[in-house]
Each structure stands twice: as C-alpha cells, then as structure tokens.
Amino acid sequence: MYEDRIRHPGLLSKIMSADEAAKLFHNGMRVGMSGFTRAGDAKALPRALAERALQDPLSLTLITGASLGNGSDGLMAEAGVLARRMPFQVDPVLRGKINDGEVMFIDQHLSETAEQLRSGNLAAVDIAVIEATAITAAGAIIPTMSVGNSAAFAQQATQVIIEINLSTPLALEGLHDIYIPQTLPGREPIPLTRVDQRLGSTAIAIDPARIAAIVITDSPDSPSNALPPDAETQAIAGHVIAFLQGEVAAGRMGPELLPLQAGIGTIANAVLHGLIGSPFSNMTMYSEVLQDSAIELLDSGQLAFASASSITLSAAVHQKLMDNIDHYRSKIVLRPQEISNHPEIVRRLGIIALNTALEFDIYGNVNSTHVCGTHMMNGIGGSGDFARNGQVSMFVSKSAAKGGRISSVVPMVSHVDHTEHDVDVLVTEWGYADLRGLAPRERAPLIIERCTHPDYRAQLRAYYDAACQRGGHTPHILQEALSWHTRYQETQSMLAAQ
C-alpha cells in the first residue's frame, strides 16, 4: 500500500508512527516545519512532539512558513516544546507565552527567513517536517496546500520527516513551482516577469537518503476563520474600488489593474470579495495567500490568474477547489514564500499591496503587530515585503474596535511596523486618504477627516492643532503622544472625558 503516494520504492521502509518519528528530536534542535497561513502544515508531528515532551522534556527552535493550524502551536507551547519560534504565529496559547516572555518569538518579514537560513545569518535547521501529498520516484516532495519555506528547510536539514496526508488529492501535483534563488556571491536575477510564469520544478528535490521518516496522516487543514463581509468591510471595499477606479481614470493602470496582493484575514478577504462585479477585468494576483475571495474572483471570470504561497479556504470553498482541481490548477501556482514575497519580484511586477493595520497614526505610520505597543498579536507577516516594494501600498482597518472604545487612528502609533515612507493609502469604512506626495502636515488633516471614526475626530484635531503650536516637520506633544493608549489601559476607552 501507499505506492501511489510513496513512489520511490526504497522509502516505503521509512514509514513509522508519529510517536516513533518524534524520538528523532533532541533538545536544542532547530526544526523547520511546513505550514503557511494554517495551510499545508504537518498535522501529526506537532501533536506527537507535545505528547513526548510531557514525558520526556524537549525544547526546540521552531521555524515555519507562517502560521500553523490544528492548535499545533498551542499544544507544543503548552508542553514546553517551543523555546524559540519564528517567523509568524496566530495561536492564542502560544501568543500568551510569547507575551509572558516564556517563548522567544522572532517576528520576521516572511520573504527573509529562508534567505537568512541559507546565508547563515540564522543557524541552519537540523530537522525538517514537511507535509506532502506524495513522494516522487526520485524521492522529491510534492507539497500540499502551501509551499512556504518547505523547500529551503528540506534542502538544508540533515534529516527530513515527511507527513503524507491521504486527504489531499494526488491531483495537487503540478500546482507548485519550486524555484530557489541562488546563493551569494554572483547570483543571477530571478527570471520571473509574469505572475503565471513557472521557473522551477513541481516537487522539492532532495537526496532521498536524508528522508529519515515518513508518517501517514489524513487530517485536513484547519478551515479559514475569516468572517463574512459586514457593512463596514463592504464600505472599506467600496473605498478601495473607488481609489482603484481613480487610478485607472488617471491612466496609471489599465482596467486589469496591477497584480494584487492581499493579506490574510477578514478585512482583506472582504475587500477582494468586493471586487466581484467591479469594473475591473482580467485581473491577476501575486500574493502570499489565497482566501475564498480569490477563488470566487477566479469563478467570476474577473481574475485571470493567482500566484501565492498558500491556499486557506472555508470548508465549502475548499471542497469546490478539490472537486475541480484540474480546472483550478491551470489558474493557480503556489511558490516558495521567498519568491511570492521577494522584494525583487514585488518591485518588478508593480504590486498593489493591500494589508491590514492594527492601528495607524495621523502621519501614516502603521502598527500591524503590537496591542498597546507591548503585546504581540500575530506578527508582521508579509505586509512589509509588499508595502515597501509594491507600486501602491494600501493599509485597511475598521476605524474603531471594542465597541468604539478603541480608535484605530491615534496621535502616534504605539509600535511601528511600516513607516510613513512605505504607506501610500489608508482606508477605513469612512473613506480613504491618499498620502502620495504629501508632507506630514498635509497627511494629518486628511487622515483625520477621511479615515477617523466621527467620535474621535474632534479629539484628534485638538491634538494635532496643539502639536502644531510646538512646531516641527512632524508635530507631536511627546507627553501626550501615547496618552490614548494609556487612557485605554486606565479607563477601558480611548475617548477623553467630556
């Protein structure tokens, strides 16, 4: 059995249980695992490592593509497996331990991890754990619903553990394009010039002798937890479309726009969903993740092709994709995240970057990661890769949170992930502020009037007016710049007492 999944005959003997494979790990090892936006993550080993650690303590550095599903990060964190974790996570249990200082979390641009491993800026991984739909006759790994950093991990690790996931159709073969940039010095350009271009192979080639274990699983990916569009996200989508229509009208792009990137999550998904029925046609995506909206846009005929590093869908849309995989495989390619997010490619293609802000300030600085400046939410993800190098960098957010007690627009962000230099357009349900070519003192009134929740506009105007009295290119009152956050900590609301 499994000959269709493990086509290299010498590897059948490597099949073992996850518990047996978990014995290959030793304290202090550096582990690279597949998984990106909870897609294509290893399902059995994280659980087996957590269970083993309860008996036989185990402390590892875990590097992934991005977030894992199935509560895996939480299980491993709870069992003390995770001494260090990078470059991204979304798990509530792990998040708690990061914020308690128990787990050392390194929050990285998603394009950079593989490059840093290869250059030695990060120490190499010892073991790779990669979910696969099959292993070819040559021993190459056919990934599942994400590529992430799997190719970099598999090529670098001394030992490779493969989880064959029987729930993934063999017809995924051909969906992936595995291309790894050359190493320094003297490397050539990455020859990608079109979103639908294929540069490499359909599987991750490695020496089969390094495959130390094969574990059989059949658990599906965790389904997307993006919420359906609501009135506010629909309004945000409307403003994004209005901005893009302006770009087309000004001749800065055609009706096919430029290749679109959209971050993970409810708002970005809703914005893309809002493009269905928009006046744009023959669009393309060059993104890190495809959510339901991307599949719906392909179905509407408005999206011609989608390139990403992972696919994260609701159960229903996932089923549709699987039932019609031969159709979709001609319209989708999954790449290593160092290619999907590569600064060289993002700049060359002229991406429209759409990412979600936790908060932004009156000068256009964006906080994507830290609640009240201290507590990590998920991580910067790929937002910086796209915002810095894209042709147009948009950040979207609802203008308020916690029933209006938090304003997403503040005098000074409590943590900066994207500086004013990298932010072109800010959008909330109230409108958009086009900051291109504007000085800080021009941005502030625009952001206050166009993007801020009406309950907070007078309060922001008062801050800005008082700050201007003190002068400066970027006026601030340092004693009050973070007072909205401390007021929230003290009174559970950013609203000033009347």
Residues 200-259 touching a copy of itself, rule: CB under 8 A, are 250-253, 258
Burial label for 198, CB within 10 Å (0-12, 13-18, 19+), is middle
- Strands 211-217, 159-165: pairing is parallel
Asked if 496 touches a copy of itself (CB under 8 A), the answer is no
Asked if 415 touches a copy of itself (CB under 8 A), the answer is yes
> Is 248 strand, coil or helix?
helix
In the complex, least distance from residue 282 CB atom to a copy of itself, rounded to whole angstroms = 12
Site for a copy of itself in 94-113 (CB under 8 A): 98-101, 104-109
**What is the Cα–Cα distance from 292 to 276, expressed in whole angstroms?**
12
Size of the site for a copy of itself (CB under 8 A): 85
Site for a copy of itself in 61-90 (CB under 8 A): 84, 86
- Per-residue DSSP letter, 300: H
Q: Are 148 and 36 in contact (CB under 8 A)?
A: yes
449, 393, 455: which is closest to 426 by C-alpha?
A: 393
Site for a copy of itself in 170-189 (CB under 8 A): 184-189
339, 350, 485, 463: which is closest to 415 by C-alpha?
A: 485
- Pick 59 or 391: Cβ nearer a copy of itself: 391
- Token representation of residue 425: 């357009």
In the complex, least distance from residue 393 CB atom to a copy of itself, rounded to whole angstroms = 10
Q: Are 162 and 171 in contact (CB under 8 A)?
A: no
**What is the Cα–Cα distance from 123 to 454, expressed in whole angstroms?**
50
- Per-residue DSSP letter, 494: -
Interacting span for a copy of itself (CB under 8 A) from 4-12, 203-211, 326-334, 468-476: 468-476
Out of 124, 242, 472, 491, point to the residue binding a copy of itself (CB under 8 A): 472
- Pick 114 or 226: Cβ nearer a copy of itself: 114
Asked if 359 touches a copy of itself (CB under 8 A), the answer is no
Beta bridge partners, 33, equal 129
In the complex, least distance from residue 345 CB atom to a copy of itself, rounded to whole angstroms = 9
Beta bridge partners, 493, equal none
Q: Are 323 and 313 in contact (CB under 8 A)?
A: no
What's the one-letter identity of residue 190?
A: I
Q: Are 321 and 313 in contact (CB under 8 A)?
A: yes
- Taking residue 489's Cβ as centre, other Cβ atoms within 10 Å add up to 11
Out of 9, 471, 497, 498, point to the residue binding a copy of itself (CB under 8 A): 471
Asked if 260 touches a copy of itself (CB under 8 A), the answer is no
Asked if 199 touches a copy of itself (CB under 8 A), the answer is no
- Pick 318 or 418: Cβ nearer a copy of itself: 418
Q: Is 288 a catalytic residue?
A: yes
Asked if 370 touches a copy of itself (CB under 8 A), the answer is yes
- Pick 40 or 379: Cβ nearer a copy of itself: 379
- Taking residue 330's Cβ as centre, other Cβ atoms within 10 Å add up to 11
Asked if 389 touches a copy of itself (CB under 8 A), the answer is yes
Site for a copy of itself in 275-294 (CB under 8 A): none
Out of 486, 493, 495, 496, point to the residue binding a copy of itself (CB under 8 A): 486
Annotated binding site: 378, 382, 402
Annotated binding site for CoA: 378, 382, 402
In the complex, least distance from residue 60 CB atom to a copy of itself, rounded to whole angstroms = 14
- Taking residue 458's Cβ as centre, other Cβ atoms within 10 Å add up to 12
Selecting among 112, 163, 247, 288, the annotated active-site residue is: 288
Q: Which residues have a catalytic role annotated? A: 288
